[in-house]
Amino acid sequence: MTTRRIRGAAVAAAMAGAVAACSAPGGGGTDGGAPADSVVIGVASEPDTLSPLLGYGKDGNSKIFDGLLARDADQELKPALAKALPEVGDGGRSYTYTLREGVNFSDGEPLTADDVVFTYRTVLDDKTNNTAKSELDAIKEVRADGDDKVVFTLKYPYAAFAARTVLPIVPEHIAGKQDPNTGSFNTEPVGTGPYVLTDWSKGEKLTFKANPDYWGGAPKVKKLTMAIIADDDVRATRLRSGDLDGAVLPPNLAATFKNDDGRKTYRATTYDFRAVTLPTGNPVTGDTAIRRALDLAVDREAMVDKILDGAGRPAYGPLPLDDPWFAQDVERARDLGEAERVLDEAGWKPGKDGVRAKDGRRASFTLYYPSGDKVRQDHALAYASDAKKAGIEVKVESATWEVIEPRMKHDAVLAGFGSTGDPDFGLYTLLHSSLAGDGFNNMARYDNPDVDRALDTGRRSQDPEDRKAAYDDLQRALVKDPGYTFLTHIDHMYVLADRWDGLTTQTEPHEHGFASGPWWNVEDWQPKK
């Protein structure tokens, strides 16, 4: 789900875009031989907070912080603040990390094992407003063993635990003196990363300078500005004018730069999917027959071709088609006849206006999408058109997240989700009944004992074959009892001035633009000679 981080940004960013279009927010730009050591990137949204204690950077790629581990271009784990991958013992219940020597926070204070312990304990504290703490449920204890060793003891073997330790580490000597929920650290962070925040103008831009003492070597890009521009068209216009060096763009706008010799387009495959939440508390969307019919009626291939201009794949569930955990037998074609049969059998009979009804209730519900998101709007309208052919009325409305959030319990939402790294990462928070209605977790309030059982098995088993069987069972259960209508997996498109070497993309999660994209490794870029 695009979370609270975009709330309020749409209006403010649109105003900022109109004002800032006259001058580049970071003094960069592609015209007139702009310096290669300064980069201005246009992104759609900004974080609510820059504190990892509240969830910022939890999946890695923060430019301000580092985790014990990080991911390379192929998403493989590699040492970061730890000098090596962890030592695993006690049948997968113990993970020991030895810290890299000579690492300092950007204020000059040394990193110690106590900082790591403080970070994890604070995230897990019930008083800390971190909605992702369930991801660290396996941790029983974390303790320091001297200044340079950290030992995690787990409640149960958790095969994906090492990948959770990309969580950024914060300095206890600063954050430990503040309330993690309200302290100034949320907007004035101090970390060990390659960049230091120098300015944050809410709704307009965040500016970073290179950390000259970064343990990985001082970055060649000395100034990095993330311009917050909610409107896709405005981002494209500012990129074309030279006001931006790069931007995240939807496929149709990225395609307009195809023949631009001074810019390059980058395409990242993703786990990022668009889906319609179908709340169980709504008398229409809570009916399994309605949910199954919608799943059968939707034309996923057409959405990829027409909405995404081919930059994506049909979504037959939360995992993409090319993921090794994808259950091949759940791929399915559109079948409008079967959708009608399911509805007929369940007692949803066609009315005079073409909309089905059952026991006096029309098969009609409202679907919200966030204002200003053209890709979601197009998905919502196509979904409504497909549903109408099966006799289901979907009333599409746009709104801000402030309006949408209190309605999520009863109304459908065109949502976005997807996490990289391990199937547990995205599926547990999306589907487990224990997280129903927990903020943006399990937005559909889905409750299926078979799915819960599969999620628990996948999380707790060490055997890859047992885990694969569990996640296969889960995906098959979602076909029979869908809590969401999965539509497409979206490729992320980026356009940048061709002034640097070393740019690559990773396979990306739903959250992108701010930390992901070709600038995931901006600290490694080299100016073209």
- pLDDT-derived band at 515 (thresholds 50, 70, 90) equals confident
Predicted confidence at residue 59, as pLDDT, reads 87
Predicted confidence at residue 13, as pLDDT, reads 35
Token reading at 207: 């500016």
Place of tokens 């031989």: 33
Predicted confidence at residue 448, as pLDDT, reads 97
Percent of the chain whose pLDDT exceeds 90: 82
- pLDDT-derived band at 3 (thresholds 50, 70, 90) equals very low
The closest alpha carbon to 348, from 313, 315, 392, belongs to 392
Q: Cα 80–85–91 angle (5° rounding)?
A: 145
Residues 395 and 365: beta-carbon distance below 8 Å: yes
Place of tokens 């970071």: 26
Predicted confidence at residue 22, as pLDDT, reads 34
Distance (Å, whole) CA 294 – CA 378: 17
Taking only the tens place, the pLDDT of each residue in 360-380 is: 999 999 999 999 788 999 999
Does residue 433 have a pLDDT over 60?
Answer: yes
3-state SS string for 449-496: HHHHHHHHHHHHCCCHHHHHHHHHHHHHHHHHCCCEEEEEEECEEEEE
Of 21-25, 52-56, 123-127, the least confident: 21-25
Residues 115 and 198: beta-carbon distance below 8 Å: no
Taking only the tens place, the pLDDT of each residue in 96-120 is: 999 999 999 999 999 999 999 999 9
Distance (Å, whole) CA 343 – CA 457: 33
- Per-residue exposure over 135-147, b if at least 16 CB sit within 10 Å of its own CB, e if not: bbebbeebebeee
Stretch 14-38: mean pLDDT: 47
> 345: exposed, middle or buried (C-beta count within 10 Å: 0-12, 13-18, 19+)?
exposed
Predicted confidence at residue 33, as pLDDT, reads 52
Q: Residue 500 contacts by C-beta under 8 Å, 6 or more apart in sequence? A: 36, 221, 525, 526, 527, 528
Taking only the tens place, the pLDDT of each residue in 453-473 is: 999 999 999 899 999 999 999
Residue 304 phi, psi (nearest 5): -60, -45
Predicted confidence at residue 34, as pLDDT, reads 61
Segment of 24-28, 58-62, 260-264 carrying the highest mean pLDDT: 260-264
Does residue 27 have a pLDDT over 50?
Answer: no
Does residue 450 have a pLDDT over 80?
Answer: yes
Task: Give the containing element (helix H, strand E) for 386.
Answer: helix 374-389
Distance (Å, whole) CA 314 – CA 305: 10
The closest alpha carbon to 409, from 223, 277, 231, 259, belongs to 277
Residues 277 and 443: beta-carbon distance below 8 Å: yes
Predicted confidence at residue 9, as pLDDT, reads 36
Strands 412-417 and 364-370: parallel
How many helices (H) and strands (E) would you count in the chain?
A: 14, 24
| Torsion, Cα of 80, 67, 492, 378 (10° steps) | 170
Predicted confidence at residue 513, as pLDDT, reads 73
Place of tokens 């290669």: 36
Predicted confidence at residue 36, as pLDDT, reads 78
Stretch 393-411: mean pLDDT: 96
Does residue 32 have a pLDDT over 60?
Answer: no
Q: How far is residue 489 from each of residues 301, 318, 440, measured CA to CA in Å?
A: 11, 9, 19
**Greatest CA separation for the chain:** 76
Q: Which residue has the higher pLDDT, 293 or 59?
A: 293
Does residue 12 have a pLDDT over 50?
Answer: no
Taking only the tens place, the pLDDT of each residue in 268-290 is: 999 999 999 999 999 999 999 99
Predicted confidence at residue 209, as pLDDT, reads 97
Q: How far is residue 222 from each of residues 36, 350, 475, measured CA to CA in Å?
A: 9, 64, 46
Q: Residue 411 contacts by C-beta under 8 Å, 6 or more apart in sequence? A: 279, 282, 365, 366, 367, 368, 404
The closest alpha carbon to 501, from 524, 472, 474, belongs to 524
Predicted confidence at residue 171, as pLDDT, reads 98
Stretch 346-357: mean pLDDT: 96
The closest alpha carbon to 340, from 361, 363, 359, belongs to 363
Does residue 237 have a pLDDT over 80?
Answer: yes
The closest alpha carbon to 43, from 66, 26, 68, 64, belongs to 26
Residues 390 and 340: beta-carbon distance below 8 Å: yes
Percent of the chain whose pLDDT exceeds 70: 94
Beta carbons within 10 angstroms of residue 399's beta carbon: 16
**Structural domains of the chain ordered from first start:** 1-46+202-267+493-529 (3.40.190.10), 51-183 (3.90.76.10), 273-490 (3.10.105.10)
Q: Which residue has the higher pLDDT, 512 or 263?
A: 263
Q: How far is residue 522 from each of residues 188, 422, 500, 516, 528, measured CA to CA in Å?
A: 21, 25, 10, 10, 14
Q: In the chain, what are the helix, strand and coil shares in percent, each to the nearest 5?
A: 30, 25, 45
Token reading at 93: 């219940």
Taking only the tens place, the pLDDT of each residue in 144-190 is: 999 999 999 999 999 899 999 999 999 999 999 999 999 999 999 99
- pLDDT-derived band at 10 (thresholds 50, 70, 90) equals very low
Strands 139-144 and 94-98: unpaired
Beta carbons within 10 angstroms of residue 303's beta carbon: 23
DSSP string, 348-371: -EE-TTS-EEETTEESEEEEEEET
Beta carbons within 10 angstroms of residue 90's beta carbon: 10
